[in-house]
Structure 1
Amino acid sequence: MPLTPPAPHLRDPAARGRLGGALLAVVLLWPLLQASDFDLAALLAPENLRVLGGFLRQFLPPETGADFLALLARATLETLAIATTGLALAFVLAVPLAYWASNAARERPRLNPAARGVLTVLRGIPELVWALVFVRVFGLGPTAGVLALGLAYGGMLGKVYAEILESVPAAPAQALARSGARRPIALLYGLLPQAARELTSYTVYRWECAVRASVVMGFVGAGGLGQLMDQAMKMLNGGEACTILVTFMLLVL
């Protein structure tokens, strides 16, 4: 006589734990929501929706004049230049800092408080704050944006690079080290080939973030599309603002 398979459970055995986690999240997040003064009802109030609709109508039609499009093309190239140059500077800073901070391919793992501290300072200060500082030092223009991105993103890249190198299997690097290879060689040939895809993917993602950040920094005078957008909004020129927003979305895409 064949054995009858057991009846499947009709209830999720982890349901109680998930429900408890959801309730705990609500209990913890509710005071934060209250502290932020967020009020969805105010956003959906009829009078506020009329004001929002009137503001959005000012964006139509988009500005397509030849003079403005020429100015927009120059600002777009400047934004790309700020993002790319800033990321290149960040990469130059991140590689030695990641090597210094990481325990990858070390014979004896140890803490590196100095390296970790430098990375924390660099990434702990937002790029917008760095931009404000450098605008005061160098004046308006893309130089402030490049330096701000280089420092802030250098800290981010360095931290993540170190963690990626520490997460891949260490056996190849250890084998090279036991054969007499120094740490840079063991890391270069034992760990880097395994981590290359993830390192490249994160670097490209950070480049996209740099494009977005360079636009935001333009509002404090760091050049590019952000500075042009700030001027359009101050002049209440919704058509120009709409064209800038469309250009920015195409740029990120």
Structure 2
Amino acid sequence: MNAATLAAGRPDRDPRTRGRATGLVIALLLLWPVLHLAQFRPLALFESGNLQAMGYFLSAFVPPVTSGEFLALLLRATLETLAMATAGIALAFVLAVPLAFVMTQSLSVSRIGPGRGRWHGQVLRGLARAATLVLRAIPEVVWALIFVRALGLGPAAGVLALAITYGGMLGKVYAEILESGDTRPARALLEAGSGRLQALCYGLVPGAAQELASYTVYRWECAVRASVIMGFVGAGGLGQLMDQSMKMLNGGEASTILLTFLLLVLLADALSAALRRLLA
């Protein structure tokens, strides 16, 4: 067999090229109407009038305000935001753990063998999934608007709004993390006669602890950002201070608040890294 024969019998391109190209074309065809509905026109940013308006707006952010009176207000608002996010995530955790415990199929005793309670567990898991869907489907800012009407202005409304929405998010993702890991230890414990709680604590959690902690800290970081948004509807914290600064067209104060946001995100990243090292 000569070299020409070998070259003829060897494919000259990736056999999956056609499938990948077809998938790319389909994706572009589906993306185009989505961008059209979203009125996505990036070239409009570079029009002269728009560039001038953005430049004027951003120029007001320099220099940041560092007066003692404003920094005192900023410190209090920052503590309110951290307290709101931390309390909201703590309550969300309390709500999410039972939901995740119910939804985790690897903790179902009826799955390890024939039993009379199989359909009961399926119904209970379905109800728990429906509960997480309802909790996370309504944005936290909507809950904040409701609770502000009931409780008045202040961070208490934001705490409850975060607890409800993030409780559904944490419960769903906790169950998925527990299911995606190695479920054999939990199954072995259940087959040996252990209870579901013991199987969770000693069979599933040790292998998923890093990922669970990392996602919880990430959600705390999201809660800090969400608390800022809720501040615009009267839930207090940095968001309310930012709303006041923007209404007064005080870009220097807004710039200082944005720098504080950046420091809070860096704090969340450092906390996540420290927890991962601790649980390693």
Which TM-score bucket, shorter chain as reference?
Answer: over 0.9
**Do the aligned residues in 2 keep the contact of 1:104 with 1:187 (CA within 8 Å)?**
no
**More deviation, 37-46/47-56:** 37-46
What corresponds to 1:42 in structure 2? 44
If the length of structure 2 is used for normalisation, what is the TM-score?
0.84
**Do the aligned residues in 1 keep the contact of 2:106 with 2:187 (CA within 8 Å)?**
no
Query: Residues 128-180 of structure 1, C-alpha deviation per residue, up to 9 Å, x if partnerless?
Result: 11111111111111001111111100000000111111222222122212221
Task: Please give the secondary structure, in 2, of the residue aligned with 1:192.
Answer: helix
Q: 73, 81, 100: which one pairs with 1:98?
A: 100
- Structure 2 counterparts to residues 1-253 of structure 1, below 5 A: 11-109=13-111, 110-111=121-122, 112-253=125-266
Distance 1:250 1:170 in 2: 38
Query: Residues 2-26 of structure 1, C-alpha deviation per residue, up to 9 Å, x if partnerless?
Result: xxxx889763333222221111111
**Do the aligned residues in 2 keep the contact of 1:215 with 1:224 (CA within 8 Å)?**
yes
Distance 2:195 2:93 in 1: 23
Q: CA RMSD in A?
A: 1.7
If the length of structure 1 is used for normalisation, what is the TM-score?
0.93
Distance 1:207 1:191 in 2: 23
Percent identity between the two aligned chains = 63
Number of equivalences: 249
Distance 1:12 1:104 in 2: 40
Q: Which runs of 5+ in 2 are unaligned?
A: 1-5, 112-120, 267-280
Distance 1:178 1:36 in 2: 53
- Matching residue's letter, 2:97: V
Distance 2:12 2:90 in 1: 55
- Matching residue's letter, 2:217: V
- Matching residue's letter, 2:166: Y
Q: Which runs of 5+ in 1 are unaligned?
A: 1-5
What corresponds to 2:274 in structure 1? none
Distance 1:57 1:18 in 2: 46
